Amino acid sequence: MDSNSKLFFSFFAVSLSLLSLSSAVSPPSNLVCAYTPYPSFCRSVLPDTNSSANVYDYGRLSVRKSLSSARKFLSLIDKYLRKSSSLTPTAVAALQDCRFLAALNMDFLLTSFQTVNSSANTMPVYKADDIQTLLSAILTNTQTCLDGLQATASSWSLKNGIYTPLANDTKLYSVSLALFTKGWVTKKKKRTGTGTVTSHENRLNFPNGKLPFKMSNRHQAIFESVGKRKLLQAGGQILVDDVVVVCQDGSKNFTTIGDAVAAAPVNANGSNGYFLIYVMEGVYEEYVAIAKNKKYLMMIGDGINQTIITGNRSFVDGSTTFNSSTFSVVGQGFVAVDITFRNTAGAIKHQAVAVRNGADFSTFYSCSFEAYQDTLYVHSLRQFYRECDIYGTVDFIFGNAAAMFQNCNIYPRLPLMGQFNAVTAQGRTDPNQNTGISIHNCTIKAADDLASGNFTVQTYLGRPWKLYSRTIYMQSFMDSLINPLGWHEWDGDFALNTSYYAEFNNRGPGSDTSGRVSWSGYHIITDAKDAANFTVTNFVVGDDWLPQVGVPYAGGLV
């Protein structure tokens, strides 16, 4: 237990003692609100209306109030957007991001409320993890909106009209997450199995150009053209509902990826399988967005550096960081295989995202992500990356998802003169969020331009973007480019004691921990049981969804 946890529990124990002395019948909200990061605020929004109320009753009430607040905020954003002619383009862009995120929050809160309102005081572990994930993402979405507003505040005069109510909403969402975590989230049974899950490791070269998909006869010709690709099988068949092919010469179904995505069904539940988009070799200069209603979509290319999706939006050129991505996805269950995603804006344009991922149960296998600052935005929810290549400079893997990287190659590049490289900038803002970046059995080496550079560039494993930043490196190879300190400050002593940074059984010349930072938030893990908390099985509940995807993965340590 770290010093902040000890302080919290000490405070809670003292609070209970004082309450028991002050009154024979303690107000229940005082007791319940002590579990939250904002006890006073909690008491102000959860009045003592029922002397028999408990953490479950107040948890349900808090989620209901959160849903009401989210609805009001969405209306407020629409009000300001109707006056967009009086705002700067960057302010309008930030407001549009906020509206997009607020709509997601409405969906997540409605699902959360329906679940807690219909559940008893216990629920299955997987369902509790789902709701904790959604409530964590609500906070992440809200923080993203706040960050965007802060970045444009100097250019418009309406900041307080949006920023102040949103800051209060953040506290309410934090209270909801804390009460749900206290009431419904139990400590999971941690599995410490080692080695690869062999039933999910088999790749299949399909004979006779046939795919083992359940398909209609009318798609046979299309499947035969795809069948020479090396796809994956998980203990049987990967179920595919429909297939379209993208080819730039006009000989197939579509010439653009965006048109193929538009043809995907709306709000599919996955029971009939994936909508498969096969993107043939080529350089696709387009901005692709997989919307929230485009679920269980699988996109397969012809391989890294063969199928390339590219763009060049950047913060310097007027995009918000959130909306600078070449490729963005929020549709649940998305899978990408054998594709390169690029943002070619260059280091000089600062924040320029190649992929922004806010899709739950999303998977990228054998893909490449190429940019400089902010290459891969692992924004929210549960994500898995396997055998991918990630290139970048400053904070090039960043965000607040529960993001798992396994058997990936991480390539720091040559940054601008005077800059240093930070592989990660994790954005956890609340101690009850089940988020973080876990890098397992990966390789961190210099990209060619950095390896051949004529001046020294410092490269660090990460730095704390937000107060409870959490990043773990396990069983990975670190080359000599890693600075002996390992980690770098964000701004003075910000988050050095509240973050959680850890290393476990890494190897290579850059893995020597004898000279690492002395922050209380930094840890050297020595017990495999502790490291197992950040494996695929435990950290992203991968055994519940990755077998259906068909990608290879190791559930435990290797």
Give catalytic residues, as residue numbers: 395
CATH code (residue 79): 1.20.140.40
Residue 292 CB burial class (10 angstroms; 0-12, 13-18, ≥19):
middle
Residue 325 located in a structural domain:
yes
pLDDT digits (tens, 9 = 90+) for 533-551: 999 999 999 999 998 888 8
Q: What is the pLDDT of residue 50?
A: 59
Structural domain of 314:
264-548
Domain count, the chain: 2
- Residues 281 and 180 both lie in one domain: no
Of 31-45, 317-331, 358-372, 392-406, minimum mean pLDDT range = 31-45
Residue 250 lies in a domain: no
Average pLDDT over residues 221-227: 46
Is 25's pLDDT higher than 80?
A: no
Whether 462 and 328 map to the same domain: the answer is yes
Q: Provide the pLDDT confidence category of residue 46 given band limits of 50, 70 and 90.
A: confident
358 within some domain:
yes
My answer on whether 137 and 48 are in the same domain is yes
Q: What is the pLDDT of residues 73-108, one digit of tens each?
A: 999 999 989 988 878 888 899 999 999 999 999 999
- Rounded mean pLDDT, 435-447: 98
- Give 181's DSSP letter: H
DSSP letter for 554, please: -
First-residue to last-residue Cα distance in the chain: 26
Residue finishing a domain among 184, 211, 238:
184
Last residue of a domain, one of 153, 168, 184: 184
State whether 406 and 295 are in the same domain: yes
Domain-ending residue, one of 117, 152, 184: 184
Domain assignment present for 380: yes
Residue 143 lies in a domain: yes
Bridge-partner residues for 376, per DSSP?
A: 355, 397
Examine the domain organization and report whether 440 and 528 are in the same domain: yes
Does the pLDDT value for residue 213 go beyond 90?
A: no
* 178 and 306, same domain (yes or no): no
Within this chain, do residues 159 and 287 fall inside the same structural domain, yes or no? no
Domain-embedded: residue 251: no
- 70 occurs within a structural domain: yes
Query: Is residue 217 situated within a structural domain?
Result: no
CATH number for position 483: 2.160.20.10
Q: Burial, 52: exposed, middle or buried (Cβ in 10 Å; 0-12, 13-18, 19+)?
A: exposed
Burial group, residue 163, by CB count within 10 angstroms (0-12, 13-18, 19+): middle
Q: What is the mean pLDDT of residues 287-301?
A: 96
